[in-house]
Amino acid sequence: MSEEKDVNMNIPMVKAIRQAYKEGQEDEALEPLVAVDSGGRPIGRFQDGDSVIFYDIRGEREIEITESLTNPYFDHFQTDKGIRLHFVTMIEYSSALDVKVAFKPDREIRNTLAEVITRAGIKLLKITESEKAIHVGYFLNGKREKKFPGEEMIVVPSPEGVANYALTPEMSAPEVADEICENLDNPDFPVIVANMSNVDVVGHIEDQQAVLKAVQAVDEALGKVYEACKQKGITLLITADHGTVEEWLYPDGTVNTGHTKNPVPFVLADFSEKNPSRWTLREKGELTDVAPTVLELLGLFKPEEMIGSSLIENFPESDPSERKILLLILDGWGMRKEEQGNLIQKARTESFDRIWAQFPHAELAAAGEAVGMPSGTVGNSEAGHLHIGAGRRIFLDRVKIDNAIEDGTIFQNPAFHWAMESAKEQDKALHLLGIVSHYSSHGTIDHLFALLRIAKNLDVKKVFVHALLGRRGERPESGAIYVAKVADMCQKLSLGEVATVIGRFWALDREFNWDRVEKTYRALIYGEGTPVPR
């Protein structure tokens, strides 16, 4: 890669990562690498009284490892109860965590789709598999941790004991489809929101055949749900949260396992009408328009907070109180005309193609400013579900933090000062933990660099970086380059060193796979992993 020219790729930790690549490992599931001194002893381990700043920004995948490091009553695996840390998280991962938060959440996002529906006395059912439960619950509800009264959720377990979903690309799509079909005529729930996870989850794996099978599994599930909606007179809405595998290759032919900037579909097939195809929709919109469209179909007023607009151009004479709605989110299903690298076009998608051709449809912006991100950036599941549910643009934490770096206010952040001053005054270490990536949904290397500069300004002496690697949206073997960039920055500042490198598969679990979290914990605390001389 051309980026290699700009950094030193010969430092021991980078060479160790590249050796792991040669042995068949990749960034996402990289086994822990631990820096050791001349005597083979791990350096930079978390010790009692140390300070930790976990600078990841997404949140839901960061909860389990944070809890293991901060909760004295944690019992999912054995932890060292004698270690107490001054712990700061970049954003709020969970209100239950005993940590300081550097960038606290803005005011509560009120009058989301779920809140408006349930407040009107309409019961809402959500159906998903466990791999995406957090998105259909927490994010779709405006980052609300509790369900609304009148809201229920069915969570189908994702395949268990599978290290790589490429082995089971169908995941639990058939079971999710069965749950949807069984509940379409459930009189208790006039509205159902469901999610199909496969395209996004498997699309992050560099296995084309598995991705094609995942797309086809979703299409088959869609076909089954479509037929059930048609038979039972259900209003079917189809959309997605962001694109993924419709642009699976970079222009140079290397695989892009990340998200995309492309629009996503929106289809309205109202089988409560005798002629579902007589609806008309705007051709273009954005994800913030989904919630207002659902509310109009239900005959509910759109709250003033929702700046999105209904996509419906004409409204046939009918009684909305009799309408039952299914909003089906095809996670990661983007729209792109070009065939090169388009695995959705390459797969067999007979159901989707038929529905798209037959019923009113639109394309929705699902990236960049449309979902509260900087202009020109890709979408992600967090932003997508958040905006589908909120019906308004919500500037995400990344924008807030980037602005703080640009205007300099991050250098006065009290939470960072608390952690760093504690380390300095007590002659303890400062640990900076998080993703090292150009632009992951979990964070960016620029935020790490800002923290290193703050530590330099405050004259913190002992600083260790614990790098989490993830391939998503990055070129092959990019983790080594990012670690080299971190080491280069440490050298320029004469501050800090990379002490741990581990794949995000182990560190950022959200499905209570405690064996993965324990591997990360033991690497950080005890230095268990492949030793790498300084």
DSSP state of 408: S
Closest CA to 382 of 332, 338, 427, 456: 332
pLDDT of residue 314: 84
Q: Are residues 288 and 319 in the same domain?
A: yes
Residue 124 and residue 48 share a domain: no
**Listed residue (206, 298, 302, 330) closest to 257, CA to CA:** 206
Distance of alpha carbon 461 from alpha carbon 420, whole angstroms: 10
Domain count, the chain: 2
Does residue 295 share a domain with residue 244? yes
Tell me if 156 sits within 8 A of 172, measured CB to CB: yes
The pLDDT of residue 275 is: 78
Q: What does the pLDDT read at residue 240?
A: 98
Distant-in-sequence, close-in-space partners of 19: CB < 8 Å, separation ≥ 6: none
For residues 332 and 205, is the Cβ–Cβ distance under 8 A? no
- Kindly report the pTM of this predicted structure: 0.77
Residues 96 and 119 in one domain: no
pLDDT of residue 1: 47
Closest residue by Cα to residue 367 from 339, 402, 332:
332
Nearest C-alpha neighbor of 277 from the set 191, 360, 350? 360
Q: What's the pLDDT score for residue 163?
A: 72
Q: Over its length of 534 residues, how does the chain's per-residue pLDDT go in tens digits?
A: 456 667 788 899 999 999 999 999 989 899 999 999 999 999 999 999 999 999 999 888 999 999 999 999 999 999 999 999 999 999 999 989 999 999 998 778 999 999 999 999 999 999 999 999 999 999 999 989 899 999 999 999 999 877 789 999 999 999 999 999 999 999 999 999 999 999 999 998 889 999 999 999 999 999 999 999 999 999 999 999 999 999 999 888 888 888 999 999 999 999 988 777 778 999 999 999 999 999 999 999 999 999 999 999 987 666 666 789 999 999 999 999 999 999 999 999 999 999 999 999 999 999 999 999 888 889 999 999 999 999 999 988 888 898 999 999 999 999 999 999 999 999 999 999 999 987 777 888 999 999 999 999 999 999 999 999 986 666 778 899 999 999 999 999 999 999 999 999 999 998 899 999 999 999 999 999 999 999
Cβ proximity of 214 and 199 under 8 Å:
yes
Quick one: 347 and 412 in the same domain?
no
**33-36, strands of its sheet edge to edge:** 100-103, 86-91, 51-54, 430-435, 463-469, 497-503, 33-36, 530-533
Query: Are the C-beta atoms of residues 16 and 480 closer than 8 Å to each other?
Result: no
Helix/strand/coil percent split, the chain, to 5 = 40, 15, 45
pLDDT given for residue 64 in this prediction? 97
Range of the domain at 442: 2-104+398-533
Q: Residue 18 belongs to a domain with what CATH number?
A: 3.40.1450
Same domain, 100 and 24: yes
Query: CA 340 to CA 347: how far, in whole Å?
Result: 13
Identify whether residues 320 and 178 lie together within a single domain.
Answer: yes
Would you state the pLDDT for residue 254? 87
CATH of the domain at 149: 3.40.720.10
Q: Which residues, in sequence order, are CB contacts of 53 under 8 Å at separation 6+?
A: 88, 89, 90, 102, 416, 419, 430, 431, 432, 433, 451
Indicate left, alpha or beta for 529 from its phi (over 0: left) and psi (-120 to 50: alpha): left
Task: Please name the residues in contact with 533: beta carbons below 8 A apart, sequence gap of 6 or more.
Answer: 12, 35, 36, 37, 38
Is 193 in contact with 136 (CB distance < 8 Å)?
Answer: yes
Q: State the pairing for strand pair 361-365/264-270.
A: antiparallel
Question: Which of 372, 393, 414 is the last residue in one of the domains?
Answer: 393
Half-sphere exposure of 360 (CA within 13 A, CB side): 22
Q: Assess whether 205 and 342 both reside in one domain.
A: yes
* 418 and 527 assigned to the same domain: yes
The two tokens of residue 523 are 């690497």
Phi, psi of 492 (to 5 degrees): -65, -35
Q: Which of 393, 428, 455 marks a domain boundary? A: 393
Let me know if 180 is exposed, middle or buried by CB neighbors in 10 A (0-12, 13-18, 19+): buried
The tokens 């608390």 sit on which residue? Answer: 418
* pLDDT tens per residue, range 214-234: 999 999 999 999 999 999 999
Convert the pLDDT of each residue in 139-171 to its tens digit: 999 989 899 999 999 999 999 877 789 999 999
Burial class, 335, CB count within 10 angstroms (exposed 0-12 / middle 13-18 / buried 19+): buried
pLDDT the model gives residue 319 = 62
Whether residue 326 sits in one domain with residue 229: yes
User: pLDDT at position 212, please?
Assistant: 97
Distance (Å, whole) CA 506 – CA 45: 17
Last residue within a domain, chosen from 335, 367, 393:
393
Judgement on whether residues 189 and 236 belong to the same structural domain of the protein = yes
CA distance 68 to 521: 7
Same domain (yes/no): 198, 309: yes
